[in-house]
Amino acid sequence: MMSSIFVMAEHRNQALADISLQTLSKGRQLADQAQTELLAVVIGKDTTAYAEQVAKWADRVIAVKNDRLEEPLAEPYQKILALLIKERKPKIVLMGHTSLAMDLAPPLSVELEVPLATDCTDISLQNGDVIVTRSIHNGKLNAAYSFAPCETVIITGRVGEFPIEEGNRHGQIEEIDFPLEEEFNYKKFEGYVAQEVGGVDITQAEVLVSVGRGIKEKENIEMVQKLAEVLGGEVSCSRPVVDYGWLPSERQVGLSGKTVKPKLYLALAISGAFQHVVGMKSAKMTVAINKDAGAPIFKVANFGIVDDLFKIVPILTRKIAELKDD
Amino acid sequence: MDIIACIKRVPDTSEADAIKIDSSQRDIEKSGLAFKINDWDEYALEAAVQIKEKLGGTLTAVTVGSQEWNDILRRALAMGADTGIRIDHDVASEDPHIVALILKTVIQRLPYDLVLFGAQSEDFGSGQLGAMVAEMLGIPHATLAVSLEARENKVHISRELEAGTLESYTIELPALLTIHTGINQPRYISLGGIKRAMRKELQVMSPNDLGLSVDMLIPMVKLERLELPSKGKGAELITGAPEEAAEQMAKTLKEAGIF
């Protein structure tokens, strides 16, 4: 029998993170297939409520408590997880591919000298071996990876790839008061900084005309603004447009921006990297205009035009205006 | 302040129509692809150059790759790096653990206060390397930095969490940071700048020169095969000349009750 599976459940703002319900669901499925135990690990100042929630998926819950664990910080998490993994020797340690995991998983794998695969879109067991799939080259290829023989592998799972399946277990909760002596003074947490709030809330717009890097320069935004106006919508964008300073971050859609659900999402020169798609895939209708026929956005769009936006957008704006008047 | 920036060369696949898998099933066909410096690394270099301009000191750019990778080191020199070091080792689909071990071995021979990486690569996007190197060097780190202010012996940074939230830290030096896009506006490099950088000598060494033997570089994660992703349902494509296609699209939107 395979040794156990660990899932580290994350919480932010007094709630379990969605990604953790996804990794717990995947962990449950793998544990059932391998006929082994799923252990959920929650770490924090007060983990009682989280422990009860994750117990629905887990055979056992390890709830680690310490007053100094108010914020999820990589250094104490690494210390705690390293001890737990050395002690219980799970076959798989699974967590979400989050900002916390970016800080935490690589050093943990170095400390434990175990393999790490990050941002995985699938995990499977084949004849007892763990195989993961990753999406590479801007979503244009999938890569399957295996691991060298080892006691434990660490895997982080991509947000939104593992469907949440309601758990029906009542895992036994084991509470650990963790003595945390280190001070971690070399890296001092100073607090959270909320995004500045501007005048526009794109999450409320029924129509979003969204632009990507292919808009080329700030002056070209005006053309997109006109299309948004004739559709009664707002302009939104992908990350590079904010990085270049062409639009403010409050208009950014995606993992690090807003999650939107408009009636129409019109994606102009947006390639459709998963970080973007995560934020707009619940749109009722998606239309893509992109000169790259291989852009992943065409996989999630309902309708598409493979062409240069600078050719299409002015004509489209005029045609919509004409049809409105009919 | 002595800064080391670790950079990578990637194929530009953002607008490449079709990426082809080669006969090994483990790599892509390289012919016909343009190569460039990894996007995130360009932001890391710019951050490093800005600190050097403010506080003085040295900036060393380091990469692990084959001879073609010299072009990104030249670019780094043109941006303001003093020295370029390449460790001659093919890392096409290498386990980040191995690349981290090589980089750690180089870095610990150099003077450094701050080590900068791009937060991830455009091709494989594991986002592992920087934080692994920090652990190997035994220095503090933070990934996904979107602001950075360096003082004599510490840095003040903010890093990006999910959904537009940031968290800020003060970190004592020496430290390692991975840099996210948007932290700055990387400077424009002229052809003349690149040409001047061509005259500068690059340092090239092998893993062996660093005391790393083949049996120390055995990957724990192995790429088994590449596959094209499933097509999915896919968009219904509206074709024709721009005038026709745009008109048809306008009608489609009207029929859907959008306006």
Query: A14-24: per-residue pLDDT in tens?
Result: 899 999 999 99
Q: Residues B171-202: pLDDT tens digits?
A: 999 999 999 999 999 999 988 888 888 888 89
pTM: 0.94
Task: Find the residue in B nearest to A232 (Cα).
Answer: B259
- CATH code for position B119: 3.40.50.620
Count CB atoms within 10 A of the CB of residue B201: 8
Residue A103 placed within a domain: yes
Which of A108, A142, A177 is where one domain is finished?
Answer: A177
Q: What percent of chain A has pLDDT over 70?
A: 99
Residue A155 placed within a domain: yes
Task: Give A-chain residues touching B170 at CB under 8 angstroms.
Answer: 187-188, 190
Specify the amino acid at residue B219: P
Q: Do A305 and B158 touch (CB under 8 A)?
A: no
Residue A186 placed within a domain: no
Is residue B98 within 8 angstroms of chain A, CB to CB? no
CB of B126 closer than 8 Å to CB of B96: yes
Q: Which domain holds residue A89?
A: 5-177
Is residue A191 within 8 angstroms of chain B, CB to CB? yes
The minimal CB distance from A143 to the residues B131, B226, B238 is found for B226
- As for the ipTM of the complex, it is 0.94
Residue A252 placed within a domain: yes
Residue B258 placed within a domain: no
Task: Find the residue in A nearest to B14 (Cα).
Answer: A138
Residues contacting A189, CB < 8 A, separation 6+: A71, A73, B167, B168, B169
On whether both A214 and A170 belong to a single domain, the answer is: no
Q: Do A316 and B246 touch (CB under 8 A)?
A: yes
Q: Do A141 and B222 touch (CB under 8 A)?
A: no
Confidence of residue B92 (pLDDT cuts 50, 70, 90): low
Q: How many domains does chain B have?
A: 1
The minimal CB distance from B164 to the residues A249, A287, A323 is found for A249
The minimal CB distance from A193 to the residues B129, B140, B158 is found for B158
Q: Residues B101-140: pLDDT tens digits?
A: 999 999 999 999 999 999 999 999 999 999 999 999 999 9
Task: Give B-chain residues touching A201 at CB under 8 angstroms.
Answer: none
Task: Give B-chain residues touching A257 at CB under 8 angstroms.
Answer: 163-164
- Ordered DSSP codes for chain B: -EEEEE--EEE--SS-S-PPB-TTSSSB--TT--EEE-HHHHHHHHHHHHHHHHH--EEEEEEEE-GGGHHHHHHHHHHT-SEEEEEE---TT--HHHHHHHHHHHHTTS--SEEEEESS-SSS----HHHHHHHHHT--EEEEEEEEEE-SSEEEEEEE-STT-EEEEEEESSEEEEE-TTSS-PPP--HHHHHHHHTSPPEEE-TGGGT--GGG---SEEEEEEEPPP--S-PEEP-SSHHHHHHHHHHHHHHTT--
The whole-number pLDDT of residue B187 equals 96
Q: How many domains does chain A have?
A: 2
- Rounded CA separation B174/B166 (Å): 23
Residue A192 placed within a domain: no
Task: Find the residue in A nearest to B228 (Cα).
Answer: A141
Q: Do B218 and A148 touch (CB under 8 A)?
A: yes
Q: Do B249 and A115 touch (CB under 8 A)?
A: no
Residue B27 placed within a domain: yes
pLDDT at residue B151 is higher than 70: yes
Task: Find the residue in A nearest to B252 (Cα).
Answer: A303
Q: Residues B7-34: pLDDT tens digits?
A: 999 998 876 666 889 999 999 998 889 9
Q: Residues A284-317: pLDDT tens digits?
A: 999 999 998 888 999 999 999 999 999 999 999 9
What is the pLDDT averaged over residues B145-152?
96
CA–CA min distance A153, chain B (Å):
10
The whole-number pLDDT of residue A240 equals 93
Give exposure, B168-186, as e/b (b: 16+ Cβ within 10 Å): bbbbebbbbbbbbbbbbeb
Residue B53 placed within a domain: yes
Is residue A240 within 8 angstroms of chain B, CB to CB? yes
Residue A197 placed within a domain: no
On whether both A68 and A148 belong to a single domain, the answer is: yes
The whole-number pLDDT of residue A294 equals 85
- CATH code for position A240: 3.40.50.1220
Is residue A135 within 8 angstroms of chain B, CB to CB? yes
Task: Give A-chain residues touching B157 at CB under 8 angstroms.
Answer: none
Residue B205 placed within a domain: yes
On whether both A114 and A249 belong to a single domain, the answer is: no
On whether both A128 and A271 belong to a single domain, the answer is: no
The whole-number pLDDT of residue B30 equals 87
Q: Which residues of chain A have pLDDT under 70?
A: 1, 196-197
The whole-number pLDDT of residue B17 equals 65
Is residue B231 within 8 angstroms of chain A, CB to CB? yes
How high is the mean pLDDT of chain A?
94
Q: What percent of chain A has pLDDT over 90?
A: 87
On whether both A288 and A156 belong to a single domain, the answer is: no
Q: Which domain holds residue B55?
A: 2-216
pLDDT at residue B223 is higher than 70: yes
How many beta-carbon pairs below 8 A join chains A and B?
A: 281
How high is the mean pLDDT of chain B?
94
Is residue B138 within 8 angstroms of chain A, CB to CB? no
Confidence of residue B230 (pLDDT cuts 50, 70, 90): confident
Interface-testing mutation among B141, B220, B225, with chain A (most A C-beta atoms within 10 A): B220
Is residue B34 within 8 angstroms of chain A, CB to CB? no
Task: Find the residue in B nearest to A242 (Cα).
Answer: B182
The whole-number pLDDT of residue B93 equals 61
The whole-number pLDDT of residue B194 equals 87
What is the pLDDT averaged over residues B224-245?
90
The whole-number pLDDT of residue A138 equals 86
B88 forms bridges with which residues in the sheet?
B65
The whole-number pLDDT of residue A128 equals 86
- CATH code for position A160: 3.40.50.620
On whether both A71 and A169 belong to a single domain, the answer is: yes
Q: Residues A185-222: pLDDT tens digits?
A: 999 999 998 776 677 899 999 999 999 999 999 999 99
The whole-number pLDDT of residue A180 equals 87
The minimal CB distance from A305 to the residues B136, B169, B238 is found for B238
On whether both A166 and A215 belong to a single domain, the answer is: no
On whether both A239 and A147 belong to a single domain, the answer is: no
